[in-house]
Amino acid sequence: MNVSRSDQAPSAATPAGTARTAGLRGRIGALGPVGLVLAGGISVQFGGAIAVSVMPRVGAVGIVALRLLFAALVLVVVCRPKVRGYARADWGTVVAFGVAMAGMNGLFYQSVARIPMGPAVTLEVLGPLALSVLASRRAVNLIWAGLALCGVFLLGGGGGFDGLDPVGVAYALGAGAMWAAYILFSARTGRRFPQADGLALAMVVAAVLFLPLGIAVSGPKLIEPGTLALGAAVAVMSSVLPYTLELLALRRLPAHTFAILMSLEPAIASVAGFLVLSQALSLAEALAIALVIAASMGAVRTQVGRRGARGSRGPRSASGSRGALGARGSRSARVAHGGEDPVTEMAAGPAAAVDAERVLEPSERGAEPSGK
């Protein structure tokens, strides 16, 4: 009597086999978007490290001008944003978004021109972290704020910032404040403009603001072929590629998980600074960065727990089962329309301005995607 293969071994159709198969698929599915987010973060920070290496040629203002210019050109070509049919308030919002974007990039690059990348990104993260703590209004978030302040105290060598250029520190803190403003205006832009149109238009505003400054500071050096090529590479690595990867990841990854992963950026920046720029960290600086990362993750998890408890008492928000979505991307960064959660949005970047209709799967929004 011949025995079939299905009689010799458990089939995947059995409950045990089905569970194993589903578990494997789940692990692979989870690894995919996580890998995309991490790849986006690596691209942003290594792009920043390359930008620092180009600064001796054209200065911080010049490299920011090139980065914003090339990023704006790519986004306009890809997104083809409409410019008609918007009210004056809509244009005011997108201009404010572009100003915040320009300020965030300009101040950050002035910072990394003076202090190592790891400490610069760590100090910059304090802006969104402060926004999340203030917006949450929960006592437990004072713990995360205190943890972050301990990290800043260590980073400053005991509070005096003796090991860091104080001007660079001020620029990094200013970039953090502009990042917080970026988050707020990206949310408003995402609600007023469809898909990524608002992002593309805001990038044009930022480029228009910085290009005259870049020309004034760098002059003919700005159009040297080698400099243009490096500027384009920085734009792709720090803006276009992270935006694409994060948008793909947000289709399959919960927003709070995304925000936690983005909290690792100070560590990624430290690695990029070490490998590309030979910027070594002391033990105290490494511990300080770890404390700020822990504070950032803690703030995100606290807000997620609050949102979960609130959701169990009532219907979910109209923006979909994932709630507010954020993406950092182009310093990057990362809000679906209707989202008002600054903690989840603390990693906001280019994908942050993407409309929920673009990000959510059809099954989550009850309609097929409307093609561009």
What secondary structure, in 3-state letters, does 57-118 show?
HHHHHHHHHHHHHHHHHHHHHHHCCCCCCCCHHHHHHHHHHHHHHHHHHHHHHHHHCCCCHH
Domain of 129, in residue numbers: 47-77+86-313+322-355
CB 141 within 8 A of CB 132: yes
The answer as to whether 31 is a domain residue is: no
Count of C-beta atoms within a 10 Å radius of residue 280: 12
Q: What is the pTM of this model?
A: 0.71
C-alpha span between 160 and 21 (Å, rounded): 56
C-alpha span between 348 and 354 (Å, rounded): 11
Backbone angles phi, psi at 271, to 5 degrees: -65, -45
The answer as to whether 293 is a domain residue is: yes
CB 232 within 8 A of CB 69: no
The answer as to whether 172 is a domain residue is: yes
CB 245 within 8 A of CB 36: yes
Count of C-beta atoms within a 10 Å radius of residue 4: 6
The answer as to whether 68 is a domain residue is: yes
CB 291 within 8 A of CB 154: yes
Q: What is the pLDDT of residue 30?
A: 45
CB 154 within 8 A of CB 103: no
The answer as to whether 338 is a domain residue is: yes
pLDDT per residue of the chain (372 residues) written in tens, 0 to 9: 444 434 444 444 455 555 554 554 454 444 478 888 888 889 999 999 999 988 998 999 999 999 999 999 999 998 899 988 899 999 999 999 999 999 999 999 999 999 999 889 888 988 888 877 777 667 777 787 788 778 777 776 555 556 788 899 999 999 999 988 988 898 888 888 987 889 899 999 999 999 999 999 998 999 999 999 999 999 999 888 888 887 778 777 776 677 777 778 888 888 888 898 888 888 888 888 888 888 878 877 776 655 555 554 444 333 332 222 233 444 443 433 333 444 344 444 333 333 333 333 333 333 322 333
**Joined tokens for residue 90:** 């809509």
Q: Which of 175, 35, 60 is nearest to 114 (CA)?
A: 60
The answer as to whether 32 is a domain residue is: no
The answer as to whether 24 is a domain residue is: no
Number of domains in the chain: 1
C-alpha span between 156 and 123 (Å, rounded): 10
Count of C-beta atoms within a 10 Å radius of residue 47: 24
The answer as to whether 61 is a domain residue is: yes
Helix (H) or strand (E) holding 262: helix 255-262
Q: Which of 297, 317, 294, 293 is nearest to 307 (CA)?
A: 317
